[in-house]
Amino acid sequence: MSWVRLVIVANEVEAETIGGLLQTEGIDSVQRFTDVGAGAGDATGSGGPREVLVAPEDLDRAQELLGTDASV
């Protein structure tokens, strides 16, 4: 399956929270480390930024749920 980026969040906890919300709406997602903002979490040990990915056909609905807009 191909995935597209929905959002980048600060850490794994935020990514898991979003993943849970998406799952309750029947939208599959995955998360992974991202190099956007590389080094930003080095001092905190927070694990670093994560990106949440969804299937292309679910992107619009997932953006609605999160109140995000990819055009911004």
44 falls in which pLDDT band (50, 70, 90)? Answer: low
Quote the pTM value: 0.80
Q: pLDDT class for 72, splitting at 50, 70, 90?
A: very low
Q: Is residue 32 part of a domain?
A: yes
SS3 content of the chain, % helix, strand, coil (to 5): 35, 20, 45
Q: Confidence band (pLDDT; 50, 70, 90) for 7? A: very high
| Domain count of the fold of the chain | 1
* pLDDT tens for each residue of 18-36: 999 999 999 999 999 987 6
Provide the residue type at 58 as one letter.
D
pLDDT of residue 1: 76
Residue 51, token pair as written in the block: 């990106």
CATH code of the domain covering residue 19: 3.30.70.1530
Residue-range definition of the domain harbouring residue 47? 4-66
